[in-house]
Amino acid sequence: MTDETPNPPLRPWHDVWLKPRRVFRTLATTPIGKLDYLLAAAQGTVNFLALCRGGSLANAGGVPEILAAAFVVGPLTGIVGMYLMTAIYVRLGTAAGGTATKAQIFHVLAYSGIPLAVSLGLWLLMAGLAGDSTFLETPRPGLDGFLVLLLRLQGFAHGALLLWSVLLQVMGLSEMERLGVPRALGLWAIGQLLILFLAIILVLVLDLLGLGGGVAGS
C-alpha cells in the first residue's frame, strides 16, 4: 500500500516568507482580489509612517493626527502606487522577454509586501508606547532609555522586513516573468529607478503649483 502525502494547503500569509515561488505559481491564474488591495493599502500606510520619521513629510500634529493622515492617505497612495508600479513592471518585463500579466505582477507586488505590511503592527505599538518620538529621527530629550532602545530595535526590524519584501519581490518577478534571478534583480532595480524619477517629477510639479509644502521636510 502506497502512502501518498498530499501537498499541504496554501497559506499565502505564512508560505510567502520562505516559499515565495510556490505562492506566486498558485496565484498566477487568479484575478486581483480583495487581499491584494488590503496588502497594497497596508504597504502605503507603512510607507507614509516611515516618511514621517524620515522628515520627508512636514507634520506639526501629534500621534492622533499622524495616524489619522496615515490611514486616510496611506491606503489611497498604496493602491494607486501599486497600479503604477504594475504598469511599469509589465512594460519592463515585456521588453526583457517576460510573459507576466498585469494581475500576476500585481500579485507579486502585493504579496511580496507581506513582511512590510506586518511591520505596521510595530509602528502602531511604538506610537502607543513612545508617542510622537516614534516619528522623529531623534527621540525627544528625556525619553526613557528603554523606549529609546525599543525605537532603535523597531527601526532595525522595519529595515529588515523591507529588505525581505524586496527579496520576495525579486523572486516573484523571476517566477512570473520566467527570468533568472540576476535578470529579475536588474528588472526590479530599473523599475525602482523609474519610480524614483517619477516621484521626483511629482514633487517638483507640486512645488511649482505651490502644493508641495506638506511634502518637503522643514
pLDDT tens profile 155-178: 999 999 999 999 999 999 999 999
In-domain check, residue 171: yes
Determine the 3-state secondary structure of 8 from DSSP: coil
**179 against 10, higher pLDDT:** 179
Report the percentage of the chain scoring pLDDT > 90.
58
DSSP 1: -
pLDDT mean across residues, the chain? 86
In-domain check, residue 27: no
Please compute the mean of the pLDDT values over residues 89-118 and round it to a whole number.
94
54 CB contacts (<8 Å, ≥6 apart)? 137, 217
Type of residue at 52: C
Please compute the mean of the pLDDT values over residues 8-35 and round it to a whole number.
88
In-domain check, residue 190: yes
In-domain check, residue 23: no
Q: What pTM was estimated for this model as a whole?
A: 0.85
pLDDT at 61: 66
Tally of structural domains, the chain: 1
**62 against 187, higher pLDDT:** 187
Give, for 120, the enclosing helix (H) or strand (E).
helix 114-130
In-domain check, residue 4: no
In-domain check, residue 10: no
In-domain check, residue 22: no
pLDDT at 208: 75
Dihedrals φ, ψ of 158, to 5°? -60, -45
In-domain check, residue 129: yes
**Domain housing 164:** 34-135+143-208
